[in-house]
Amino acid sequence: MFEQYISIFQQEFINNFIKEDRWRYLTNGLLVTLKLTFFAVLLGLVIGFTIAIIRNVHDNTGKLGFLNFLCNLYLTVIRGTPVVVQLMIIYFVIFGSVRIDKALTAILAFGINSGAYQAEIFRAGIQSIPRGQMEAGRSLGFSYFQTMTKIIMPQALKNVIPTLLNEVITLLKETSVAGYIALEDLTKGGDIIRSRTYSAFMPLIAVALIYLIMVLILERIVKLIERRLSKNDKR
């Protein structure tokens, strides 16, 4: 009885992963997922950081009113709509008539999406620094910009590293909707195997396991960094 299960398992395994090198759907997909996540996080970092600075300048000086308005519009729209809808709009509507690399589209979509969330993270980080730090910097003769880069940002960035890494974890999972524009990421890879072998269990569980392992590793890194930061925090 038991041996029968083992042999079914073996057959399933071979059928789903070994035959026709189907495991490649998973490894290739994983690479796509990692690439998407990595570049989208970077793009989001640039967007988020810029927006946080614009909004902070506006909050403090009242300048940049129009840019600030655009930022708020962007934040409202991006955070108020599902990422998969944003992805499809960018692919089918905005780039609908142009042939553009799917992966690039996805990086744009996820980066633009993540930027909105990272903007809020940076903003919270900047706001967590007491007013007195800006005042002390300015009173010494530093410009707003110098005070921001030398005094506020180093403290704010340190405070937001763990939250930013959590955003990476979120994004890693969110890229799983890339299949909607027929991009073969990890999830899509598992799904392709399922459609070839007509067995859902193995490929989908394998996909889930791979995500889980990556998330666990990232969480472990967050923990390590948090501990490291609090140890170095000579406060």
Partner 1 sequence: MTNANESPLISVRNLEKHFGDMKVLKGITVDINKGDVVCVIGPSGSGKSTFLRCLNRLDEPTGGEIIFDGVNILDPATDIDLHRQKMGMVFQQFNLFPHMSIMKNLTIAPMTLQKKSKEEAEGYAYELLERVGLKNRALDYPLQLSGGQQQRIAIVRALCMKPEVMLFDEPTSALDPEMVGEVLEVMKELADEHMTMVVVTHEMGFAREVASRVMFLDGGDFLEENEPKEFFANPQNDRLKEFLGKVL
Which residue bears the tokens 């067995």? 199
- Are 129 and 138 a contacting pair, CB within 8 Å? no
Shortest Å distance, C-beta 141 to partner 1: 4
In degrees and rounded to multiples of 5, residue 164 shows phi and psi of -65, -40
Q: How far is the CB of 129 from partner 1 (least distance, A)?
A: 10
- Provide, rounded to whole angstroms, the least separation between the CB of residue 135 and partner 1: 6
Q: How many residues are present in the chain? A: 235
| Closer to partner 1 by Cβ: residue 41 or 152 | 152
* Pairwise CA distance, residues 150 & 67, whole Å: 24
- Contact between 119 and 70 under an 8 Å Cβ cutoff? The reply is no
CA end-to-end distance (rounded Å), the chain? 63
Q: Which tokens is 231 given?
A: 């140890």
Q: How far is the CB of 45 from partner 1 (least distance, A)?
A: 21
* Nearest in space to 202 (alpha carbons), one of 2, 23, 27: 23
Burial class (CB in 10 A: 0-12, 13-18, 19+), 187: buried
Q: Which is nearer to partner 1, 7 or 146 (CB)?
A: 146
Q: Give helix 102-127 / helix 23-61 axis angle, nearest 10°.
A: 40
Q: Please give the helix or strand (H or E) that residue 42 lies within, else none.
A: helix 23-61
* 28 or 155: CB nearest partner 1: 155
Q: Which is nearer to partner 1, 101 or 135 (CB)?
A: 135
Closer of 96 and 154 to partner 1 (Cβ): 154
Minimal distance in Å, beta carbon 51 to partner 1? 24
Least distance from partner 1 to the Cβ atom of residue 152, Å: 10
Give whichever of 99 and 131 is closer to partner 1, judged by the CB atom: 131
Backbone phi and psi for residue 60, each to the nearest 5 degrees, phi listed first: -90, -35
| Residue numbers at the binding site for partner 1 (CB under 8 A) | 130, 132-133, 135-143, 146, 150-151, 154-155, 158, 234-235
